[in-house]
């Protein structure tokens, strides 16, 4: 497997939701490990979707697992500092593509999400997990501290909870992940797609421009001080109010009718 179409399966109007696009990692026999080719395929497809009129994106995994992290066999085949720097930079670029694209991205998680697979869940804007899903940043068990996964993990869960996961490598179940803020919702395995559909449909019904501006602001303000955050937020809201969707939405509220977006 090397071509994007084989490694990553893309479906438009996914889950029966107009404007929803699903991106499914398709290395089931390798638990969807993030090989160099997989990282490239994901980045290519996500950048393509970012430029489209899609409203919401779902990242999923084929087979028995969501994602088992980096491809360790591939990593061990090239024991070079130059190679490892390039590999982790490539992975970081793909992760940042998720944050920078205008559409909200939902992780649909089943089976295991370990190491960089857990990182992928944490980088997605939202996550819905099967009650059978399990999560770990388990590199430390192999002598490799999950440094890059620690970045989004520590921005999703509390510091002590994140650090415990990082230094023990222990698994947590889906309900614990939800309690800690790593995932938004937990559903039974046979209701997972329905739960994803409900969340995706709720987002897809909202004005695309408002959601895109809100996502951009959300992450910018998180990384700045509170005064600067308020300045960014105020400017975003002022510009948003000039948008046709906001003008129509507020007028519809005043006239007590559904908005015509």
174 versus 226: which is more confidently predicted?
A: 174
Average pLDDT of the segment spanning 213-219: 96
Classify residue 71 as left (phi > 0), alpha (psi -120 to 50) or beta.
beta
Mean pLDDT of the chain: 95
* Least confident residue range of 37-51, 163-177, 197-211, 235-249: 235-249
Long-range contacts of 237-244 (CB under 8 A, 24+ apart): 239/213, 240/209, 240/210, 240/213, 240/214, 243/207, 243/209, 243/210, 243/213
- Contact by Cβ (8 Å): 109, 121: yes
Nearest-angstrom CA–CA distance, 209 and 124: 19
Which letter does DSSP use for residue 138 in this model? G
Domain map (residue ranges) of the chain: 4-204, 208-254
CATH number of 4-204: 3.90.226.10
Nearest-angstrom CA–CA distance, 91 and 33: 12
Average pLDDT of the segment spanning 175-183: 98
CB neighbours of 250 closer than 8 A, spacing ≥ 6? 241
What order do you get walking across the sheet with 134-136 strand by strand?
Answer: 112-114, 134-136, 172-173
Q: What is the pLDDT of residues 106-141, one digit of tens each?
A: 999 999 999 999 999 999 999 999 999 999 999 999
C-alpha distances (whole Å) from 200 to each of 5, 101, 126, 188, 232 are 23, 16, 10, 17, 27
Supply the pLDDT for residue 192: 98
pLDDT bin (cut points 50, 70, 90) of residue 2 is very low
Supply the pLDDT for residue 26: 98
Supply the pLDDT for residue 260: 87
Burial code (b: 16+ CB inside 10 Å, e: under 16) for 202-233 equals ebbebbbbbbbbbbbbeeebeeeeeeeeeeee
Average pLDDT of the segment spanning 5-31: 95
- Contact by Cβ (8 Å): 152, 122: yes
CATH number of 208-254: 1.10.12.10
Q: What is the pLDDT of residues 65-97, one digit of tens each?
A: 999 999 999 999 988 999 999 999 999 999 999
Cα R_g (the chain), whole angstroms:
19
- Contact by Cβ (8 Å): 183, 129: yes
pLDDT bin (cut points 50, 70, 90) of residue 3 is very low
Q: What is the pLDDT of residues 189-214, one digit of tens each?
A: 999 999 999 999 999 999 999 999 99
Supply the pLDDT for residue 241: 80
Q: What is the pLDDT of residues 150-169, one digit of tens each?
A: 999 999 999 999 999 999 99
Average pLDDT of the segment spanning 43-56: 98
- 0.85 exceeded by the pTM? yes
Query: What's the half-sphere exposure (Cβ side, CA atoms, 13 Å) at 248?
Result: 11
Per-residue pLDDT at 4 exceeds 80:
no
């Amino acid at each position: 497997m090397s071509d994007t179409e084989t490694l990553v399966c893309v479906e438009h109007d996914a889950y029966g939701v107009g404007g929803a696009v699903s991106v499914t990692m398709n290395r089931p026999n390798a638990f969807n490990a993030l090989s160099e080719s997989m990282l490239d395929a994901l980045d290519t497809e996500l950048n393509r979707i970012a430029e489209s009129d899609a409203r919401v994106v779902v990242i999923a995994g084929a087979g028995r697992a969501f994602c088992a992290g980096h491809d360790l066999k591939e990593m061990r085949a090239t024991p070079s500092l130059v190679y490892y720097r390039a590999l982790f930079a490539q992975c970081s670029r793909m992760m940042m593509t998720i944050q920078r694209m205008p559409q909200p991205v939902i992780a649909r998680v089943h089976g295991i999400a370990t190491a960089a697979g857990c990182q992928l869940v944490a980088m997605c804007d939202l996550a819905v997990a099967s009650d059978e899903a399990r999560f770990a940043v388990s590199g430390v068990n192999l002598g490799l501290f999950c440094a890059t996964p620690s970045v989004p993990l520590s921005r999703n869960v509390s510091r002590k909870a994140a650090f415990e996961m990082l230094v023990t490598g222990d698994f947590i179940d889906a309900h614990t992940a939800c309690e800690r803020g790593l995932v938004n919702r937990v559903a039974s395995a046979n209701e997972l797609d329905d739960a994803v559909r409900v969340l995706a449909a709720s987002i897809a019904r909202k004005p695309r421009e408002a959601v895109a501006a809100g996502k951009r602001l959300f992450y910018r303000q998180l990384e700045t001080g509170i005064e600067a955050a308020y300045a960014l937020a105020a400017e975003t809201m002022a510009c948003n109010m000039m948008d046709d969707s906001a003008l129509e939405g507020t007028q519809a509220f005043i006239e007590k009718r559904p908005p015509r977006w």
